[in-house]
């Protein structure tokens, strides 16, 4: 089982069971000041029994439950702003046999101070039994107000991946004026895996052409990958397109994670915007957004575009609408080509977690000698030149060290990644 500020995740019936669900829900109840909580789930088979259990625990603790049923994660975040709290039943991009819980307070995911209060036993003040009510979301109408109408009915293909985004993505894109086709509507018989960022998306690539664009979602609809001209774009390109549209709408203040493409930062600054860099991770990006009163941003590794005025979470569905509204713009190909001219590589090295800090410390010493610009907020990041960087950081949940890098020269990027990966392995062999 993984316990992070991103939520609780595990294989249901193995390292995550209903006893765990009851415990975490009970503890979360102590943080809900409004005594109201929105609950929604993705399409995983275990979702319904988990949702029923969560609802029962919340009501036992005197909390009114507002049941959204099967909906994407961004919808739960959006509605939680009205009610004060929310729980998403999902394991995001993990395999179908997994499930989990994402906790929302005042429209944002929990922070590092709140996580221990959910994991550790909390005292619950007994009160009246809560009520349950089914509700409908105004998500599509709210998103349309931001996006506006799209001209010339651009052709859009949605690869739903058997997830919860189906109805919301289709309705939104049709409502703004797109000509929409959908594949992989249901989980049964789906031609791809749950994570569009790691899947080849062959079916979607084969049916998109010069006259259409493809959007692939994960199971809970917060991750998005773009397929353009039959080519699957990198997560950073997907994020970059969302950023480009937000600049057109007048947003100027951005927060990007440390591992997000330098091309996006350059593009923002060329358009008169400002960029603050945050630690990697959706929660860290959002925390810095709130702190800096930022208007937009995200993290490249998950293609996660975030628009705080609308939602404090990755916004796959809204982003698909924002990108669609640019398709008839003559500058779209220019923006896409610019983002595509940079190459990102992300690798994992298996390393026992007890050696993580020592390895990072050794690499830090070596990088400090070698490179003039170093960032140590999240692992060690070295700026090699204006177009090239390398980031080495530990995982907080797995026995791995992550190696990420970028350059506008593909061979240079590959060389730096390979050298850095070998460096991690060598230090591991020395100290273990």
Residues 172 and 305 in one domain: yes
Residues 331 and 284 in one domain: yes
Q: Which two tokens stand for residue 98?
A: 């997994």
User: pLDDT by residue (tens digit) across 111-144?
Assistant: 888 999 999 988 877 778 999 999 999 999 999 9
pLDDT of residue 190: 94
**Of 282, 311, 340, which marks where a domain is finished?**
340
CA distances from 49 to 16, 54, 60, 99, 215 (A): 13, 9, 17, 11, 30
189 is a domain residue: yes
Is residue 26 scored above 80 in pLDDT? yes
pLDDT of residue 123: 81
Is residue 209 scored above 90 in pLDDT? no
Burial class (CB within 10 angstroms; exposed 0-12, middle 13-18, buried 19+) of 357:
exposed
**Of 340, 372, 393, which marks where a domain is finished?**
340
pLDDT of residue 303: 84
Percent of the chain with pLDDT over 90: 88
* Radius of gyration from C-alpha coordinates of the chain: 21
Enter the pTM of the model. Answer: 0.93
Cα–Cα distance between 131 and 36 in angstroms, integer? 9
The residue range of the domain holding 187 is 153-340
Cα–Cα distance between 351 and 432 in angstroms, integer? 9
* CATH, residue 86: 3.40.120.10
pLDDT of residue 302: 85
Residues 355 and 327 in one domain: no
Mean pLDDT of 156-170: 96
50 is a domain residue: yes
Residue with tokens 């026995």: 399
Q: Whole-number mean pLDDT of the chain?
A: 94
Residues 238 and 123 in one domain: no
Q: Assign 5 a pLDDT band (cuts: 50, 70, 90).
A: confident
287 is a domain residue: yes
CA 369 to chain centroid, in Å, comes to 35
**Which DSSP string do the residues of 315-368 spell out, in sequence order?**
-HHHHHHHHHTTTT-TTHHHHHHHHHTSEEEEEEEE--GGGHHHHHHHHHHHHH
Is residue 161 scored above 90 in pLDDT? yes
Residues 118 and 178 in one domain: no
Mean pLDDT of 87-109: 95
pLDDT of residue 20: 96
Residues 76 and 168 in one domain: no
Residues 287 and 197 in one domain: yes
Mean pLDDT of 271-292: 94
Those residues whose C-beta lies under 8 Å from the C-beta of residue 265, and which sit 6 or more positions away, are 256, 275
Strand order in the sheet with 400-407: 343-350, 400-407, 388-394, 380-385, 373-375
Q: Assign 202 a pLDDT band (cuts: 50, 70, 90).
A: very high
Q: Which two tokens stand for residue 9?
A: 């995740």
Is residue 64 scored above 80 in pLDDT? yes
Q: Assign 432 a pLDDT band (cuts: 50, 70, 90).
A: confident
* CATH, residue 347: 3.30.310.50
35 is a domain residue: yes
Is residue 384 scored above 90 in pLDDT? yes
User: pLDDT by residue (tens digit) across 328-358?
Assistant: 887 888 899 999 999 999 999 999 999 999 9
141 is a domain residue: no
Is residue 320 scored above 90 in pLDDT? yes
Q: Assign 247 a pLDDT band (cuts: 50, 70, 90).
A: very high
pLDDT of residue 330: 78
Residues 386 and 319 in one domain: no
140 is a domain residue: no
Residues 359 and 377 in one domain: yes
Q: 103 or 395: which carries more pLDDT confidence?
A: 103
**Of 134, 167, 202, which marks where a domain is finished?**
134
Residues 348 and 289 in one domain: no
Find the angle CA(87)-CA(89)-CA(93) to the nearest 5 degrees. Answer: 125
Cα–Cα distance between 284 and 292 in angstroms, integer? 12
Residues 325 and 348 in one domain: no
Mean pLDDT of 205-233: 91
Is residue 157 scored above 80 in pLDDT? yes
Those residues whose C-beta lies under 8 Å from the C-beta of residue 338, and which sit 6 or more positions away, are 263, 267
393 is a domain residue: yes
- The DSSP 8-state label assigned to residue 127 in this structure reads -
Cα–Cα distance between 422 and 300 in angstroms, integer? 24
Total domain count for the chain? 3
Q: Assign 6 a pLDDT band (cuts: 50, 70, 90).
A: confident
pLDDT of residue 354: 93
Mean pLDDT of 67-95: 96
349 is a domain residue: yes
Residues 110 and 179 in one domain: no
Q: Which two tokens stand for residue 85?
A: 């709290």
């Amino acid at each position: 089982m993984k316990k992070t500020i991103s939520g609780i995740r595990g294989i249901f019936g193995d390292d995550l069971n209903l006893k765990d669900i009851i415990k975490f829900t009970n503890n979360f109840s102590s943080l809900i000041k409004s005594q109201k909580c929105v609950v929604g789930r993705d399409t995983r088979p275990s979702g319904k029994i988990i949702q029923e259990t969560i609802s029962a625990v919340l009501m036992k603790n005197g909390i009114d439950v507002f049941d959204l049923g099967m909906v994407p994660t961004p919808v739960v975040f959006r509605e939680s702003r009205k009610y004060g709290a929310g729980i998403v039943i999902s394991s995001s991009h993990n395999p179908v046999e997994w499930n989990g819980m994402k906790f929302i307070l005042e429209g944002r995911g929990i922070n590092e101070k709140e996580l221990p209060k959910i994991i550790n036993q909390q005292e619950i003040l007994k009160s009246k039994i809560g009520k349950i009510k089914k509700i409908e979301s105004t998500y599509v109408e709210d998103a349309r107000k931001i996006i506006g109408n799209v001209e010339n009915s651009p052709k859009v293909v949605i690869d739903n991946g058997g997830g919860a985004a189906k109805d919301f993505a289709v309705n939104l894109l049709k409502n703004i004026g797109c000509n929409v086709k959908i594949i992989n509507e249901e989980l049964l018989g789906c031609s791809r895996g749950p994570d569009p960022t790691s899947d080849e998306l062959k079916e979607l690539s084969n049916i998109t052409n010069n006259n259409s664009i493809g959007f692939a979602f994960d199971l809970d609809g917060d991750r998005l990958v773009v397929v353009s001209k039959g080519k699957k774009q990198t997560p950073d390109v997907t994020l970059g397109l969302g950023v480009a549209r937000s600049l057109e709408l007048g947003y100027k203040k951005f927060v990007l994670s440390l591992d997000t493409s330098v091309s996006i930062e350059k593009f923002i600054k060329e358009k008169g915007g400002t960029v603050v860099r945050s630690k990697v991770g959706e929660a860290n990006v959002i925390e810095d957004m709130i702190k800096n009163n930022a208007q937009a941003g995200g993290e490249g590794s998950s293609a996660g575009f975030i628009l705080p005025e609308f939602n404090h979470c990755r916004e796959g569905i809204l982003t698909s609408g924002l990108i669609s509204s640019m398709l008839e713009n003559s500058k779209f190909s220019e923006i896409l080509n610019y983002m595509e001219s940079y190459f990102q590589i992300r690798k994992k090295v298996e390393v026992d977690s007890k050696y993580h800090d020592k390895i990072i410390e050794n690499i830090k010493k070596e990088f400090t000698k070698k490179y003039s610009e170093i960032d140590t907020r999240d692992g060690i990041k070295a700026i090699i030149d204006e177009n090239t960087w390398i980031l080495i950081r530990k995982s907080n949940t797995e026995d791995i060290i992550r190696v990420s890098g970028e350059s506008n020269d593909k061979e240079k990027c590959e060389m730096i990644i390979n050298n850095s990966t070998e460096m991690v392995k060598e230090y591991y062999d020395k100290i273990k």
